[in-house]
Each structure stands twice: as structure tokens, then as C-alpha cells.
Structure 1
């Protein structure tokens, strides 16, 4: 009986020790867990670099750090702050994205403005590399500038192609020209100049000469008459 009591007491003591150890282990683990802010400070203090990105992956921190012109990827344990891995990333990842090629840029442009891409060239927009394209859409020409790295449309301008202003019809212009210079109309064309738009009516006279009569396209005024012998 005494022996059984001794064994029971030993078992209880062992159980108490295990429970105590488990509690202590849990407390120690909890006390060693570090926050994101602590992870940032730890890496900055240890490597004197600039933290570009930090995210939690399972029970670890994945950290991108820039130092000089190089970019490093660091895996840091949440429990204890141990460095699990330290790798230098490829040069293309150092704060710079690879530039999109022309075909991808054209796809972006066509998605934004369906039409015919008349021209495309590389430009600098606000100190960044970009592509500038001219797109023909119906009667309008649209200038689009696309960021060469992100594919973002950073500038768009629509140049409306306006039809020349003319109030007179060709028939009305012909009648005015014939009143000025009777004969047979050989040809008529619509012209534009710094003076404005006008009709040029060519009239063959009975004497074999040819008169070129300029008729203002809006007012109907006879602007000039010239002769071709």
C-alpha cells in the first residue's frame, strides 16, 4: 500500500513538472516573438539598408532590403528573429521593372482607343521612359502616352479634324463666277489659304482664253480673276 502511494506521488510530481515546463516553454516562445516593426528595426540596424517591402509568410517575415544599388531578399524567423535566408536579387528587380516591349504597348493602346496606330516612338514623360503613339479613330487623331514600365496611360489628347468651313455650294459658286466671267466652266475646286477658304472656278471663254475666278466660300465675294492665255 505504501509502495502504491509512493508511485502515485511520483506520477503526480512528474505531471506537475511537465505542466510547469510546458507553461515556461510557452511563455519563453511568446516572449521571443517579434512584431513587424521590430523586424524592420532589426534588419535596418544589422545591415544598414532601406526596407523596400515586408510581408509575413507563415511564421516568418519576408523582407526586401535595398543597400546601395543592390536588392536583397531576407527570410527572418518571427520567433527569435533568426535569419533563415539572405539572397541577392537580380539586377532587374532593383527598384526598376523591365520595360514593356512595343507589342505589349500596342495592345494596351488598342484596348484604350480602338483604331489604327499610325506611329509610335519612345519618349520621356515626367522623367520616366514612355511610348507616344498617334491613333487614327474615325475622323480624329488621338495622341496617347503610355508608361514603358507600368503600362499606364499617362497622357491622352484628341485632335479633332474639323471640316473646312464653307457656306456656298459648288453650284452657287459657279453661278457667281459665271456672272463675273461668262463662258463654259472647265473645272472647280475648293481651296484654303491664309485669307480663308474659297472656290477656284476655271472658265473657258469664247475667245479661247481661260479665266480663273476665286469665290469666297462663305460670303460669295469674287476675290480675284486671273487669265491664262
Structure 2
């Protein structure tokens, strides 16, 4: 009977030690943020593998690891060091790392940059296989280059979208001129200068006078009114 009690007690002690080890394995509390260096050491110590790359995206560390000729991608929470996912990467027959598929690349881009994905294509970036994506975000187009093997963002370039300048139509210019000087339109011409473009609308008044109304071709502002008696 005593022997059974000793075995049971040993089992409980071992279970307690395992729980304690699991708690210690977390290294930090759930409310405490860890640095990139700490994330690197945490994964290295836990899995005894070679850390190839560490990248932080929002509050998640994306970690590439090699162990026993196999490659793994690990997602680690910045808050507390929790393992969010652990995936083994497939290898091609000749031992080279398999490229990520387009859906995986799109997922990485969505995490990296919010906005509408306009286009995405395969390319070579500094002798590396990569994907180049164009994302529309607010008034800017953002070009993102992603490593096709690791998912690392290699470059990011934002270019402000220029709204094309549109001139008023002749009819719009005439309506503005008549609102300013009622009468009968005799002629309209479009003039372009170094300082800008404008319409010149000639209006014949009921009293025989003629007004030349100068209207800014883009804003519609009446720039001047001159009279020809």
C-alpha cells in the first residue's frame, strides 16, 4: 500500500514539475512585450534550430527556422511570446526551398498594408524570386516587393496619386459668363499661357456694348471683365 502511495505521489510531483516547466517555458507574462532578440532566443532555445530570419509585422514576429535540413515558419506573439502557428515549409526535390503560393503572398501583403490590391506579379529582385504588388491606399499607390521564398518584405515605395487636371467645357464657361454678364454670346476662345489657361467669352449687351469675360479654365473664377464701347 505504501509503495502505491509513493508511486502516486511521485506521479503528482512529476505532473506539477511539468506544469511549472510549461509556465517557465513561456518566459514572459502575457502582458509583457518581448523584443526581437528575445523572440529569436526563445525559438532557438525551445526548438534547437538555426534562426534564418526574424521579421515583425504589427504585433507578431514571423520567424524562419532551419532544423535537421527542414525549414519552418513560426508566428510568435509579441505580447507574452505565445506561439501562434508553427508550419513546416515544403522543399523541392533538389532540396531548394519551395516558393510561397500567391494566396500566401496576398495574406502577407494584407497584413503589411491595408488597402485595395490592384495587381501582383512574379519578378526577380536582386537575384531573388519575388512578387511585386501594387496597393491603392487613400490617395497613394504603394509598391511592395515580397520574397517568394521567405515572405519577407524586401521593399516598399509609396507614390502619391495625381488627380488629372480637368478644364471647364466651353458650355460651362459660357454659363458662368452669362451669369456674371447677361446678354447674347458673340464669341468664345480658349487661351493658354505660362501662368494658366482661361476662356474669353465675348457677350453683346442690350445697350450695344460688348463685354469680354475672362474665366479661369479650371476653377471657373471670373478673372476680369473688360468693355468695348
Q: TM-score range by the shorter chain?
A: 0.3 to 0.5
The two structures have a TM-score, normalised by structure 1, of 0.38
Query: Which structure: greater helix fraction?
Result: 1
The two structures have a TM-score, normalised by structure 2, of 0.38
